[in-house]
Amino acid sequence: MNLLELARQTRPYIEKAAQSLSDADGLKAKAMYPRWEKLVQLGSVTAEAGYRFTYGNDLYKCVNPDPKFQSDWVPGVGTAALYVRIDEAHAGTLADPIPAARSMEYTYGLYYSDSEDGKVYLCTRTGEAAGGTITLHYLPHELVGLYFQEVTA
């Protein structure tokens, strides 16, 4: 057996083991996760909510157990009820805001940078405690007064 065949045989075990990593460690080992395009070919996966995969250069996790994958359910394009983008590379402070993206999980009390208008926003909502999360399909500038407060210098 050559090295390429051995790699093909062990790949499913690597992908399965990668699911046990934390989100932070998973971001460091994105190559270990299945690609969304491959999952579309499979159609569905028997897995718990939180199943992770890559799309482009981003790591995503599934919101629901036993996720289904279709070619028209593209991560980040109206699929917040299915998948959320993981970003733990930023502290979420004013000095190091998290880059906002559509269909991502936002955390109350953290700061986000909006690529469309270049501004920084605080995720906040009356009645919600810091640390709570919500998945939103919109960018912060589109939800000012509802889920975000613009931060002015």
- pLDDT for the residue 153: 64
113's enclosing H/E stretch is strand 111-113
41's enclosing H/E stretch is helix 36-42
User: Which residues are CB-neighbours of 20 under 8 A, at least 6 positions away?
Assistant: none
> What is the rounded distance in angstroms from the CA atom of residue 60 to the CA atom of residue 28?
13
**Confidence category of residue 94, pLDDT binned at 50, 70, 90:** very high
Predicted confidence (pLDDT) per residue in 30-54, tens digit:
999 999 999 999 988 888 899 999 9
Q: Are 93 and 107 in contact (CB under 8 A)?
A: no
User: Which residues are CB-neighbours of 46 under 8 A, at least 6 positions away?
Assistant: 66
Selection from 128-132, 133-137, 146-150 with the highest mean pLDDT? 146-150
Q: What are phi and psi of 71, to 5 degrees?
A: -60, -25
Q: Are 101 and 113 in contact (CB under 8 A)?
A: no
User: Which residues are CB-neighbours of 16 under 8 A, at least 6 positions away?
Assistant: none
pTM comes to 0.68
The domain segmentation of the chain, as residue ranges, is 3-86, 98-150
Q: Are 105 and 84 in contact (CB under 8 A)?
A: yes
Selection from 79-83, 87-91, 148-152 with the highest mean pLDDT? 148-152
